[in-house]
Structure 1
Amino acid sequence: MNSKNHQAGWTVTGLLGFMVLGAFALTCALKLIPVYMEHSSVASAIEQAIDEDAFKGKSTGEIRRKISKSFEMNMVEDTNARAVSISRKKGMTTINANYEKRMPFIANIDIVVKFDDLAYEFRTD
């Protein structure tokens, strides 16, 4: 027999705490998932153009236009082709598309996500 003194279950404070943590996790996911999906689009757009040798023999302006078109096709809005740094040195072209995204989170708290893995170097002879 179970008496009322030995019953187990959620308390109101336990349930409220669980709901607050769940809401926080859901808010984080809803803010961060689109940012990481767009980062993936930026990376794949540049990598695909490099793999296809689309930049071979092109000027930096032509490379920037190609990146811009690729960003438009992939609906990239967080960064633009003007923010991408393109430099050439001794037959090597370096594309640096690193960026950071700042977005409001809760009240006066912002989330800053920094992507610094978008530097590519390839031969353009």
Structure 2
Amino acid sequence: MNLRQRQSGMSLLGMLCIAIMLGFFVMCILKLGPSYFEYLSVKEIMGKVSKEFEPEKDNIADIRRHIANLLNTNQIYALKPQDVEVFRKDGKTYIDSSYEARIPIMWRIDAVLKFDDLKYEAGHPEPLLSNP
């Protein structure tokens, strides 16, 4: 009995499927990347606003004005200044700038990025771990 062993590699169809999947993931990264970098900018801005808060000098309107100026200066379009909640609770001032970004991927497929860790207590540059 003579058994002949054949070596076979990946077929053209297999390589095409892998190339399509790889292309889809690269396209997703390219479309989601700018939103994620914008989120990092928003996080930096809110940390800066929270850190620079002076309770005896600043009020809620001053905080809102400062946030609007920084968002405009840094060309942040995903988050509008009026969407940022600034409120007082138990004698403390809180800044809640949590938001969602919906990015169309293709046809009826959208990706939703939820940025819900942008809650700050004014005067502290680090985000809160829980809801105020």
TM-score range, shorter chain: 0.7 to 0.9
* Structure 1 gaps, min length 5: none
For structure 2, which runs of at least 5 residues remain unmatched after alignment? 125-132
Higher helix share: 1
Which whole-Å deviations, capped at 9, do the CAs of 1:13-37 have from their partners, x for residues lacking one?
A: 1110111111111111011111110
Partner Cα separation in structure 1 for residue 85 and residue 45 of structure 2 = 15
Larger RCO (alpha carbons 8 Å, 6+ apart): 2
CA drift at 1:110: 1.2
* 1:30-41 superposed matches below 5 A: 30-41=30-41
Query: Number of aligned pairs?
Result: 119
Residues 1:123 and 1:38: Cα distance change in structure 2 (over 3 Å) = closer
- In structure 2, do the counterparts of structure 1 residues 11 and 55 end up closer, same or farther at CA, with 3 Å as the change threshold? farther
Check conservation: 2:94, 2:122, Cα contact below 8 A.
Answer: yes
Q: Which residue of 2 is the match for residue 67 of structure 1?
A: 67
Give the secondary structure class of the aligned counterpart of 2:71.
Answer: helix
Change in Cα spacing, 1:83 to 1:94, as seen in structure 2 (3 Å) is same
Identity between Structure 1 and Structure 2 (%):
33
CA RMSD of aligned residues (A): 1.8
Segment drifting more, 81-90 vs 33-42: 81-90
Q: TM-score, normalised by structure 2?
A: 0.81
**Alignment of structure 1 residues 74-85 onto 2, 5 Å:** 74-85=74-85
State the 1:122 CA deviation.
3.1
TM-score normalised according to structure 1 size = 0.85
